[in-house]
Amino acid sequence: MTFGTHRFCVAPMMDWTDRHDRYFLRLLSRHARLYTEMIPTGALLHGDRERFLRFDASEHPVALQLGGAEPEALAQCAEFGEAAGYDEVNVNCGCPSDRVQEAEFGACLMLDPHRVARAVKAMRAAVRVPVTVKCRIGVDDSEEYPFLRTFIGTVADAGCELFIIHARKAWLSGLSPAENREIPPLQYATVYRLKRDFPHLKIIINGGIRTLAECTEHLRHVDGVMLGREVYENPWLLTEADARLFGATPRFTSRADVVYALKPYVERELASGTLLNHMTRHILGLFRSQPGGRAFRRVLSQQAHVRGADFRVLAAALAAMESNVPAQEAVAS
């Protein structure tokens, strides 16, 4: 099965990697593989499917991540994703939130690898695009490596050929989702070992990766890397990733040019009823650690939610950054 490249991926992040964010990220990188937020199967089966699945053609390669536990529902939603044009369908077996556990999917699915295998088999029978799995290295007090090896082996036997592995355990009680991203220790060596034991599988490593130097080191051991919060908070990293990891010339050398490249999209979305702050909230990190970056963020935070706000707010934010004047003065001008 053809996967395309997963050498550098942007993680699915709830409330963050919506279609507006993905459009912005694609401006910065031609090569990063993008993922949707986790979308529960119930939302697609009973909700506004078109709204949940909508994306811009420029986002390719882009994957749909599903949250669900029932093989039939996952297979049907995989069909919806393929019909919508997604390049991959990914099953979430790593989210530890209470809400997800109540619906019996996410990380708790790792405790039932045969159920995941049945889901993967049903999905692969329903679609031609790759079906992949994102998981943790373990759950609660599970055996360290044997638990993970059994899970991966069982699901791989059902036809899954690519696994994205967050190199931490998930604790289903006692830790919040945020704490589950920080407190359980990272165990990268466990993911490396998995690749050695399953050399025929594509193994993508995730968790706590913040620099391209770290990415380069991981790529000595596995097939790809996935970054989440670091990319969201410092999106300019994507331009550097294209150059360093893909040998590609970055599309932009100026952050301000990225903002102006967003103008046609912003105007099109505003005309269709999208609020400006639904788009601009994703670009607050574009000028992180840059002179005037705080002024840029301040203008967007104060003005993008105002009724009738349009691209002039972004232009004012750039002006505030360049002159580093107070936000109110820049907008007034």
The residue written with tokens 């190199």 in the block is: 167
3-class DSSP state for residue 10? strand
3-class DSSP state for residue 131? strand
3-class DSSP state for residue 177? helix
Distance CA 252, CA 61 (A): 19
* 95 carries an active-site annotation: yes
Pairing of strands 131-139, 224-227: unpaired
Name the DSSP letter for residue 33: B
3-class DSSP state for residue 268? helix
Distance CA 269, CA 263 (A): 10
How many other CB atoms are there within 10 angstroms of residue 121's CB atom? 18
Question: How many Å separate Cα 210 from the centre of its chain?
Answer: 15
First to last CA, the chain: 56
Reported in sequence order, the residue ranges of the chain that DSSP labels E, i.e. its strands, are 8-10, 34-40, 62-67, 88-93, 131-139, 162-170, 202-206, 224-227
DSSP line for 142-170: --SHHHHHHHHHHHHHTT--EEEEEEEEE
What stretch of H or E contains 260? helix 255-261
Of these residues, 9, 95, 135, 215, which one is catalytic?
95
Catalytic residues: 95
